[in-house]
Chain A
Amino acid sequence: MAFLKKTKSVQKSKIKLVNVKKGFGDKKVLDGVNLDIYEGESVVIIGGSGTGKSVTLKCILGLLNPDEGYIEIDGKKVNALPQKEQEALRSQIGMLFQSGALFDSLNVWENVAFSLLQNQKLNRDKAKEIAIEKLASVGLNKSVAEVYPADLSGGMKKRVGLARAIATNPAVIFFDEPTTGLDPIMSDVINELIVSTVKTLGATALTITHDMSSARKIADRIAMLYEGKIIWVGTVKDLDKTTNPYVRQFVAGNANGPINVEVKAEK
């Protein structure tokens, strides 16, 4: 493990964010994010609600354009690429949306097998077989395959979204809060799934989570986003030793500290 970590530091970066800024109207959300994610590692982003974690992911995917700065995947600037190449780049990325974002006109297995059917042109029987396999790996059994997303519970939707994200064995996977809304046991199943996808497929993973036990389990490195910047990056070991007051407060889940949560209406 220690050996792995060492080789990683000399590995080339898979995803690189350089001074990424993004705002909506007057509101600044990202204010100069810098982050390197190396090939084959699992990075977790933590940070308060509404600090722009999901926005960061969408910028990397090219769904949102940064106002300033740039993002590179495999050394190519995402936002400058022509549409065709951007699509090609995305085909090696899997994404679990925070809200699931399942297609409600398709049933569960068709959702999971979407890319297999539309892009890889697999026949339906084969695609369904793979979909059911992927569903099993997120703890869902065959009986939900024909159900429509509207009839699923929140946690089940999340897991179907997860199965869809990993269905094509992508080289890069983004998980936006994979364990929120799941019971503790299921959370652990998902954590293990993420760890094993990264290990067995050699995938690069970027996960957003509030769940510190999950973060400890899946992260090679943890980055903390605060006020539009990455204010701290380190391994899980570093996390327990750090003296950074923001990180300590967040990890301890303390309402008092340098991170001020406004609970009174402004005058």
Chain B
Amino acid sequence: MNKTIQFVNKLGHVVLKFLKSAGELGLFAFETIHHCVTPPFYGKAFLKQFIEIGFYSLPVVALTTLFAGMVIALQTYSGFSQFSAEGAVAMVVLVAVTRELAPVMAGLMVAGRIGAAMAAEIGTMRVTEQIDALATLSTNPFKYLIVPRVIAGILMLPVLVLIGDVIGICGGYMIGISKLDFNASTYLISTWQYLKPMDIISGLTKASVFGFIITLLGCYNGFHSQGGAQGVGQATTNAVVSSSILILIFNYILTELFFSV
């Protein structure tokens, strides 16, 4: 009996804690958006984040989408050839890469790279009182630290995904002509034929949403970290895990919105 009560008690605590952090995150998001549209803006901080997210994430995004495109060509070929539908490989690669693989891969990679770094940096600034110091120097921490990161995430992720689209399709193409004996020009022509703006646009929209999720959670966890090095470590883990999960959930929701008929 006692055990049951204890269990229910624990459960209640967990649920309450979850609701509390969800509410806090909502407020945090709201405040961030508010500061996104009210000056002053710190130009240099923006530039730094654009480069950090857009440029330095290129190698990981390029590598992951390249191999994703390659593997999807191999897999569809081995599956579809059983139904003599090899001709569909180019289309499947195109659709899979632009709609799903490039945005999700890029999202997860950037979550690991950028989300973690943001949580660690802002978390360290929190526990060493640098965020308090910012406020005493009459600089709003939201405007100086968070807004540039979130805006850079929203704008740069689509750019990364667009590049990832091209590289992923190239990966499929390389496998198609080198291993699967497709004719290069037929492969290219059928890719071109099936290219639909909606596939690209949906992928880029997803990328923007993922960019927002990654940067928001990175900043939120860092901003609310406490208790020294261990707290910062915890914040970093939370940022990566929660943004990865949210990316996958929102990926599903957005796919429903775009493609359900």
The interface residues of chain A lying within 8 Å CB-to-CB of B42 are 118
A94 to B136, CA, bound (A): 7
Using a CB-CB cutoff of 8 Å, which residues 120-153 of chain B contact chain A? 121, 124-125, 128-130, 132-140, 144
The interface residues of chain B lying within 8 Å CB-to-CB of A105 are 121
**Contact residues on B (Cβ < 8 Å of other chain), bracket:** 10 to 19
| Contact, CB under 8 Å: B135 / A102 | no
| Contact, CB under 8 Å: B132 / A118 | no
A119 to B134, CA, bound (A): 12
Q: B118 to chain A: closest CB distance in Å?
A: 13
A119 to B138, CA, bound (A): 8
State how many residues of chain A have any CB contact under 8 Å with chain B.
Answer: 24
Q: B114 to chain A: closest CB distance in Å?
A: 16
| Contact, CB under 8 Å: B129 / A91 | no
- Over the window 97-119 of chain A, the binary record of Cβ atoms lying under 8 Å from chain B Cβ atoms (1 yes, 0 no) is 10101111100000000110011
| Chain B at the A interface: SS class | helix
- Over the window 163-196 of chain A, the binary record of Cβ atoms lying under 8 Å from chain B Cβ atoms (1 yes, 0 no) is 0100000000000000000000000000000000
Q: A222 to chain B: closest CB distance in Å?
A: 24
| Contact, CB under 8 Å: B132 / A97 | yes
Q: Which of B121, B132, B140 contacts A101 (CB 8 A)?
A: B132
> Which residues of B are interface residues toward A (Cβ below 8 A)?
42, 121, 124-125, 128-130, 132-140, 144
Q: A62 to chain B: closest CB distance in Å?
A: 8
A95 to B171, CA, bound (A): 56
| Contact, CB under 8 Å: A102 / B130 | yes
Closest 8 CB pairs of A and B: A101-B133, A91-B138, A101-B129, A95-B136, A115-B137, A90-B138, A87-B138, A63-B132
Sampled A-B contacts (7; CB under 8 Å): A61-B135, A61-B136, A90-B138, A101-B129, A101-B133, A118-B137, A119-B137
The interface residues of chain A lying within 8 Å CB-to-CB of B138 are 87-88, 90-91, 115, 119
| Chain A at the B interface: SS class | mixed
| Contact, CB under 8 Å: B137 / A99 | no
> Which residues of A are interface residues toward B (Cβ below 8 A)?
58, 61-63, 83, 87-88, 90-91, 93-95, 97, 99, 101-105, 114-115, 118-119, 164
Q: A204 to chain B: closest CB distance in Å?
A: 15
The interface residues of chain B lying within 8 Å CB-to-CB of A83 are 140
The interface residues of chain A lying within 8 Å CB-to-CB of B124 are 104
| Contact, CB under 8 Å: A93 / B136 | yes
A95 to B129, CA, bound (A): 12
A115 to B136, CA, bound (A): 10
Q: A116 to chain B: closest CB distance in Å?
A: 10
Measured CB to CB, the nearest residue on chain B to A119 is B138
A74 to B136, CA, bound (A): 17
Measured CB to CB, the nearest residue on chain B to A165 is B136
**Max chain A C-beta neighbours (<10 A), residue from B42, B129, B132:** B129
Q: Which of A95, A99, A101, A119 contacts B139 (CB 8 A)?
A: A119
A106 to B175, CA, bound (A): 47
The interface residues of chain A lying within 8 Å CB-to-CB of B125 are 103
| Contact, CB under 8 Å: A90 / B135 | yes
Q: B207 to chain A: closest CB distance in Å?
A: 27
The interface residues of chain B lying within 8 Å CB-to-CB of A91 are 138
A103 to B125, CA, bound (A): 8
| Contact, CB under 8 Å: A87 / B140 | yes
Given contacts A104-B130, A118-B42, whether A63 and B137 have CB atoms under 8 Å apart is no
A164 to B129, CA, bound (A): 15
